C-alpha cells in the first residue's frame, strides 16, 4: 500500500501527500507493529507526507474495568492451550530424552504452566499443571511409561512441582488483576484530571464532556435530563439504563449496559464534573448577559463625568456674569464669555461624537465619498482645536494625490488624531503630520513624541470609553479614536498604530486614492 500511494503521487507530480491517522487494535499492532503511515513516511523520499487526525482517531478510549473476567476468546483458548502446550513440550522432550535431567524438564513444564496462567487465568493454569504433572510422571520420572513412582524423592519432587505450579499460577493471575486495577485507577485519575482542567479553562462544552463520559464507560448514549423527586439516588436498572444525580436539578442518564458497583463510584465523580461544567456554562452565559449592562453603566458614568465637566464651566461663567455683587471689567466679561463659548463648543463636539458613534453602530451613517485633498482638510481640522503649546507641522500634503473620502468626516478623523497626539505630547515637542502614497492607497501619519503604547494596548485604544494614559476623567469620553477608526473603515480605509522611532506613537490613516472625479453616496446598511 505505501509503495502504491507513493507511485501514484509521483505519477501525478505531487509534492505533498496527506494521510489520515487510524486507531489500530492491539491484535493488528501485534501482527504488524508499523502502520501504513509510518511505512509511507520512511519511503517518501522527496515527497512531504502529512499525517492528520480526525474525529474517530482522536476520540477517547473506554477505561479498563477492574476485576472483570478475561475476554471470551482467552477464556476459551486458555484450557485448550493448557492441554496442548504440555503435550507439545512432552513430544519435544521425548525426542531428546537423556539430554536433560529431571530438574530441567520440570522447570520447562513450570514455564509452560506460567504461560498458560498469563493467557487463560488460574483455572487454565490448574488444568495445565495437572496435565504437566501427569506427563512428567509418566514419561520422565523412573520407571518411565507408567504412573508408578518407586523413589520417595521423585514423589516429593512431583508434589513440589504441582505446588509450585499452582502457587506461581495464582500469583501471576493475582498480579494481572492488580495490573488491571492499576490501569483502571490511572485511567480514572487521568480522565477526571483532564475533565477538571477543561472545566476550569472553559475549553470544552458540556456536550463534549458527555461524549467523553459515554466513551469512558462504553455506553451507547449519555445525556443530562431534568431531575425529578424520584431520581434523588443513583439507579441501575437491569435493562442497561443508568441514572446518576448531577447537581441539584439534573440527572446523568446512560444507556447501554449495567455497571458494577466499582464503576458507580467513578461515574458519580464524572456526574459531579458534568454538574460543575454545567454551572460554569451557566455562569459564563450570565456573565455574557451582564456585560452589556456593565458597558452601559460605564458609558453612563463616562457621560456623567464628561458632560458635567463641560456644562459646569459655561454655567459657572454665565452665573458669574449674572452676579450683581461683582463688577467685571469689559476685558474680564469678554474672557468669561470666551470661556463659556469654548466649553459649549467642547460640549457640542462631545454630542456630535456620541451621535456619530450611534449612527455607526446602527448602520445609519450616510457617506458622500468624493476626491478630497488632505491639504484642504487639514487646516479646517486644525481650526477646531483649542490653543496648545505643542507645535503642529505638516509635510508632503500638497504633493500627494487626492483620496476618496467624505470631507466633513475626514476632517473629524484628522481632528481626533491630532487632539490625541497633542494630549500625549510633552510641551514644545512637535507633532508631525505627513502623507505618502503606497500603491493604490494614500497614508496619512500623525506622529507624536509622547510616551507611546505597550503592545497589549494597541487594540484597546480603539475601544469606546478607553483613555489610555489619561488620569483626568473630565478630559473626554475616550470616543475619539474609536469613532475615528469607525469612520475610516466606513470610508473604505483603515486606522492602525505604529511606534515612532525613538519614542512616541504614530497613527496611520490609510485611504483609497481617488481615481476619478465621481462622487459616490453611500448609506451604511442597517447592522441589525
3-class DSSP assignment, residue 17:
strand
Average pLDDT score over residue span 143-169? 74
| Element housing 176 (H / E) | helix 152-201
Positive/negative CA dihedral, 497, 500, 506, 510: negative
Give, as one character, the DSSP assignment of residue 462.
G
Domain limits, the chain: 2-58, 72-181, 364-523
Which residues have a Cβ under 8 Å from the Cβ of 435 and sit 6 or more positions away?
374, 395, 396, 397, 400, 442, 443, 444, 445
Q: How far apart are CA 374 and CA 407, in angstroms?
A: 9
At 42-83, the pLDDT tens digits run 777 778 887 766 544 445 555 555 555 566 777 788 889 888
407-423 helix and 480-490 helix, angle to the nearest 10 degrees: 150
Report, in this order, helix, strand and coil percent for the chain, each rounded to 5. 55, 15, 30
When the candidates are 3.40.1550.10, 3.30.565.10, 3.40.50.720, 3.30.750.24, the CATH number that belongs to 364-523 is 3.30.565.10
pLDDT at 71 (0 to 100): 67
3-class DSSP assignment, residue 434:
strand
At 5-21, the pLDDT tens digits run 788 878 777 888 887 66
- Read off the pLDDT band of 472 (50, 70, 90): very low
From the list 285, 252, 283, the residue with the least C-alpha distance to 266 is: 252
- Alpha carbon 1 to chain centroid, angstroms: 36
- Read off the pLDDT band of 476 (50, 70, 90): very low
From the list 441, 418, 444, the residue with the least C-alpha distance to 492 is: 441
Confirm if 357 and 483 have CB atoms less than 8 A apart: yes
pLDDT at 506 (0 to 100): 92
Side-chain-side CA neighbours of residue 273 (13 Å): 28
Give Dmax over CA atoms of the chain in angstroms.
Answer: 143
Measured CA distances, 139 to 101, 114, 135 (Å)? 12, 21, 6
Per-residue cell: 100? 536433560
Question: Pairing between strand 48-52 and 16-20?
Answer: parallel
Confirm if 401 and 437 have CB atoms less than 8 A apart: yes
Confirm if 255 and 219 have CB atoms less than 8 A apart: yes
Whether residue 310 has pLDDT greater than 50: yes
3-class DSSP assignment, residue 361:
helix
pLDDT at 159 (0 to 100): 79
Average pLDDT, the chain: 76
Give, as one character, the DSSP assignment of residue 513.
B
Say which range, 264-273, 391-400, 434-443, has the weakest mean pLDDT.
264-273
| Element housing 250 (H / E) | strand 250-255
Give, as one character, the DSSP assignment of residue 161.
H
Q: How far apart are CA 384 and CA 271, in angstroms?
A: 64
Question: Is the pTM value of this prediction over 0.85?
Answer: no
Amino acid at each position: 500500500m505505501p509503495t502504491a500511494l507513493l507511485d501514484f503521487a509521483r505519477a501525478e507530480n505531487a509534492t505533498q501527500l496527506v494521510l489520515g491517522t487510524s486507531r489500530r487494535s492491539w491484535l493488528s499492532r501485534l501482527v504488524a507493529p508499523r502502520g501504513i503511515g509510518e511505512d509511507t513516511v520512511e519511503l517518501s523520499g522527496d515527497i512531504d507526507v502529512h499525517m492528520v487526525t480526525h474525529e474517530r482517531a482522536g476520540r477517547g478510549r473506554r477505561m479498563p474495568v477492574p476485576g472483570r473476567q478475561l475476554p471470551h476468546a482467552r477464556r476459551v483458548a486458555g484450557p485448550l492451550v493448557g492441554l496442548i502446550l504440555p503435550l507439545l513440550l512432552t513430544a519435544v522432550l521425548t525426542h531428546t530424552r537423556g539430554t536433560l535431567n529431571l530438574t530441567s524438564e520440570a522447570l520447562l513444564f513450570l514455564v509452560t504452566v506460567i504461560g498458560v496462567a498469563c493467557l487463560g487465568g488460574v483455572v487454565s493454569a490448574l488444568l495445565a499443571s495437572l496435565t504437566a504433572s501427569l506427563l512428567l510422571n509418566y514419561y520422565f520420572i523412573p520407571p518411565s511409561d507408567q504412573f508408578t513412582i518407586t523413589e520417595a524423592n521423585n514423589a516429593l519432587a512431583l508434589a513440589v512441582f504441582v505446588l509450585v505450579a499452582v502457587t506461581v499460577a495464582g500469583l501471576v493471575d493475582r498480579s494481572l488483576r492488580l495490573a488491571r486495577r492499576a490501569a483502571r485507577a490511572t485511567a480514572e485519575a487521568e480522565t477526571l484530571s483532564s475533565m477538571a482542567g477543561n472545566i476550569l479553562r472553559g475549553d470544552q462544552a458540556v456536550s463534549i464532556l458527555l461524549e467523553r463520559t459515554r466513551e469512558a464507560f462504553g455506553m451507547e448514549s449519555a445525556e443530562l435530563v431534568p431531575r425529578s423527586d424520584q431520581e434523588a439516588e443513583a439507579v441501575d436498572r437491569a435493562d442497561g439504563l443508568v441514572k446518576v444525580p448531577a447537581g441539584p436539578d439534573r440527572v446523568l442518564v446512560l444507556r447501554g449496559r449495567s455497571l458494577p458497583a466499582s464503576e458507580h463510584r467513578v461515574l458519580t465523580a464524572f456526574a459531579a464534573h458534568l454538574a460543575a461544567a454545567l454551572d460554569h456554562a451557566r455562569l459564563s452565559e450570565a456573565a455574557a448577559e451582564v456585560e452589556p449592562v456593565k458597558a452601559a453603566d460605564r458609558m453612563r458614568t463616562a457621560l456623567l463625568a464628561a458632560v458635567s465637566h463641560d456644562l459646569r464651566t459655561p454655567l459657572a461663567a454665565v452665573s458669574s456674569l449674572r452676579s450683581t455683587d461683582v463688577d467685571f471689567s469689559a476685558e474680564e466679561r469678554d474672557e468669561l464669555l470666551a470661556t463659556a463659548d469654548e466649553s459649549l463648543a467642547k460640549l457640542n463636539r462631545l454630542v456630535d461624537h456620541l451621535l456619530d458613534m450611534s449612527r455607526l453602530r446602527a448602520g445609519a451613517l450616510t457617506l458622500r465619498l468624493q476626491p478630497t485633498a488632505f491639504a484642504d482638510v487639514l487646516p479646517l481640522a486644525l481650526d477646531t482645536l483649542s490653543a496648545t503649546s505643542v507645535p503642529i507641522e505638516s509635510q508632503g500634503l500638497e504633493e500627494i494625490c487626492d483620496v476618496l473620502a467624505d470631507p466633513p468626516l475626514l476632517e473629524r478623523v484628522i481632528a481626533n488624531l491630532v487632539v490625541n497626539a497633542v494630549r500625549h505630547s510633552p510641551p514644545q515637542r512637535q507633532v508631525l503630520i505627513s502623507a505618502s502614497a503606497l500603491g493604490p492607497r494614500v497614508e496619512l501619519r500623525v506622529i507624536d513624541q509622547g510616551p507611546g503604547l505597550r503592545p497589549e494596548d494597541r487594540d484597546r485604544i480603539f475601544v469606546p470609553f478607553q483613555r489610555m494614559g489619561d488620569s483626568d476623567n473630565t478630559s473626554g469620553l475616550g470616543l475619539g479614536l474609536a469613532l475615528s477608526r469607525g469612520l475610516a473603515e466606513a470610508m473604505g480605509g483603515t486606522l492602525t498604530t505604529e511606534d515612532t522611532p525613538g519614542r512616541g506613537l504614530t497613527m496611520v490613516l490609510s485611504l483609497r486614492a481617488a481615481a476619478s472625479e465621481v462622487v459616490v453616496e453611500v448609506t451604511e446598511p442597517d447592522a441589525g
